[in-house]
């Protein structure tokens, strides 16, 4: 099941962040930042839940200048990565973009993540700008 996150999901989202991202490579979101994002109208933070309605993955999109959605992050706990969780979380950001009549999705992917670059390129996305 997928749904918009609420303040009650903040700690679970933070736990997913800590479990899935290496702090030495990725500057993750703090619990305070997650709560702040949840209070903003420009934030679309979705959670993918297991059968007990516990978040096991999330995707974060932030509207920029009412013109684009910045697909900031997507993470799924390892034990749920063989499910459709990641695809569902990605698709909901695309659907949100379409529903809001935004014609741009900005994906931010680490340069060393070659598999993700290939996946998004195969989905029709292109590199707009590379950052070091």
For residues 68 and 123, the model is more confident at 68
Q: What is the pLDDT of residue 10?
A: 98
List, in order of start, the domains of the chain with CATH numbers.
2-122 (3.40.630.30)
Q: Do residues 74 and 89 touch, judged by C-beta distance below 8 A?
A: yes
Q: What is the pLDDT of residue 132?
A: 63
Q: Residue 122: which pLDDT band, with cuts at 50, 70 and 90?
A: confident
> How many C-beta atoms lie closer than 10 Å to residue 78's C-beta?
9
Q: What is the tens place of the pLDDT at every residue in 37-69?
A: 999 999 999 999 999 999 999 999 999 988 999
Q: What is the pLDDT of residue 131?
A: 64
What average pLDDT does the segment 20-39 reach?
A: 87
Residue (of 45, 30, 122, 125) closest to 89 by Cα position: 45
Q: What is the pLDDT of residue 128?
A: 76
Cα 5 to Cα 58: distance, rounded to the nearest angstrom:
8
Q: What is the tens place of the pLDDT at every residue in 96-117?
A: 999 999 989 988 777 777 888 8
For the chain, what's the residue count?
Answer: 132
Q: Do residues 45 and 60 touch, judged by C-beta distance below 8 A?
A: yes
Q: Which of 13-22, 28-37, 118-127 has the lowest mean pLDDT?
A: 118-127
pTM across the whole model:
0.88
**Residue 119 pLDDT greater than 90, yes or no:** no
């Amino acid at each position: 099941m997928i749904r918009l996150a609420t303040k009650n999901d903040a700690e679970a989202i933070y736990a997913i962040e800590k479990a899935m991202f290496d702090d030495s490579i990725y500057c993750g979101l703090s619990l305070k930042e997650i709560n702040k994002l949840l209070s903003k109208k420009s934030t679309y933070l979705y959670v993918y839940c297991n059968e007990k309605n516990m978040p096991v993955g999330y995707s974060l999109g932030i509207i920029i200048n009412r013109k684009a959605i910045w697909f900031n992050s997507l993470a799924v706990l390892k034990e749920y990565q063989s499910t459709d969780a990641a695809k569902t979380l990605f698709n909901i950001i695309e659907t949100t973009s379409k529903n809001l009549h935004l014609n741009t999705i900005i994906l931010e992917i680490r340069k060393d993540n070659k598999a993700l670059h290939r996946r998004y390129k195969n989905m029709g996305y292109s590199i707009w700008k590379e950052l070091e």
